[in-house]
Amino acid sequence: MTTIPTPSFRPRRLRLTAGIRRLVRETTLSPADFIYPLFVRHGRDQRVPVRSMPGVFQLTVDQLAVEARAIAGLGIPAVILFGIPAVKDAVGSDNYNPDGIVPQAIRAIKDAAPDLLVISDMCFCEYTDHGHCGIINAPGQPYYTPGLPAGYLLNDPTLELLGRASAVHAQAGADIIAPSGMIDGMVAAIRQALDAAGYAHVPIMSYAVKYASGFYGPFREAAESPPQFGDRSQYQMDPANRREALKEARLDIAEGADILMVKPALPYLDVLSQLRAVTDLPLAAYQVSGEYAMLHAAAANGWLDLRRCALESLTAIKRAGADMILTYFARDAARWLAEG
C-alpha cells in the first residue's frame, strides 16, 4: 500500500503578512481602471446634489473645468457625460444640437483638461419628454407609423437620430461615443454616420449587454429621465437571459464596436466573465447607481465599511474580466488606493 505524502504547500503561508499578500495578489485595482460619470445641466454656478447618491451632483457647464482637472489629477483617465437639457421634446432635439448641453460640456472639459478622455453617452432618454430611449410611435408625432402600437419605440428613425447626434458630439470633441439604448443596429448606424462626417478615428463603446434592471433607480433622479409611461423592457434585455447577451455582443462586434460594455456590473458578473472568454475586445462594466446607493445606505446605517466594500466590489468586477469600470466611486476609490 502506497502512502500519499502530506503536501508541503500550505496556502496560508502566502497570507501571513500584508507584504506577502500584495506580492501574490492576482487582481490589482488602479485609478487607471475607472471611468467617472458626470451629469451636466443648464444654468450657472450650480452643484445640485442627487439625493439618492451621496457625493454625486448635477453640474452646470461652468463647474466642469475645476471638476475635470481634479479628476485628471487623481489619475482617472476618462469621464462619461449625461446631459440634462433645459427643454425636452418628442425627438430629443437637444441631443443633436451643436450648442446642446453635452456639446457645451465636451468643449469645456477638453479646454480644461485636454488629456482627459470624454465619452459621450449616446441615448435619448434624458432628452425626450416621454423619457424613452428613442422615438415613440404616437399619432401626430414625427415618424408616426400607422399599424404599429402606440408607445412602441421606432427602431430605424431612432438610428437616424443617433447617427446625427453622434456626429455632433464628435465634432464637439468627444473621444468616444457610447450608444446605450439597446436599439437594433445602433453600432452600424453610428459607425456609418461618424465615418461619413470625417470621424472614422472616433471609437464606439457599445452598451452591448444592457439589462432591464431594477438597479437603475437612483440614475433616474440624477439624469431626470424616468419613462413617463411603461418601462424599457421592450428594448433592454431580460435579466433572466445569458445566451442572448452573447448574441447581442456578437452583433455589435460585427457592426464595428471597438469596446463592449455589460450593465449593470455586479449582478451580471457571470455574463461579464463569459463574454471575456469569447472576445478579445476591451470590456467595460458599469457599476450602476443602485449598486453605489446600496453600499452608501448600508454604510450610513453602520452595517458595513464603505471603503472596504466598495473596493471589494470593484475588484470583483475587474476579476470577472472588465478592462475598465464605470463607477460613481471613481474619485473616492482613487484616493483610497493612493492611501494604501
Task: Set out the domains of the chain in order of their start, with CATH numbers.
Answer: 28-339 (3.20.20.70)
Active site residues: 210, 263
Average pLDDT, the chain: 92
Candidates 313, 248, 328; CA nearest to 29 is 313
How sure is the predictor about 234, in pLDDT bands with cuts at 50, 70 and 90? Answer: confident
Of the candidates 104, 33, 30, the residue with the CA atom closest to the CA atom of residue 65: 104
pLDDT at 173: 98
How far is C-alpha 332 from the geometric centre of its chain's CA atoms? 18
**Which residue did the predictor score with more confidence, 234 or 188?**
188
pLDDT of residue 340: 83
Closest CA to 313 of 335, 293, 340: 293
Q: Is 207 helix (H, G, I), strand (E, B) or coil?
A: strand
* Tens digit of each residue's pLDDT (9 = 90 or more) over 303-317: 999 999 999 999 999
255 and 191 Cβ atoms separated by less than 8 Å: yes
pLDDT at 232: 65
Specify whether the CB–CB gap between 82 and 121 falls below 8 A.
yes
279 pLDDT above the threshold of 60: yes
Q: Considering the chain, what percentage of its residues have pLDDT values greater than 90?
A: 76
How far apart are the C-alpha atoms of 334 and 116, rounded to whole Å? Answer: 15
Q: Widest CA span of the chain, in angstroms?
A: 88
pLDDT tier at 124, thresholds 50, 70, 90: confident
Which segment of 16-25, 242-251, 308-317 scores lowest on mean pLDDT? Answer: 16-25
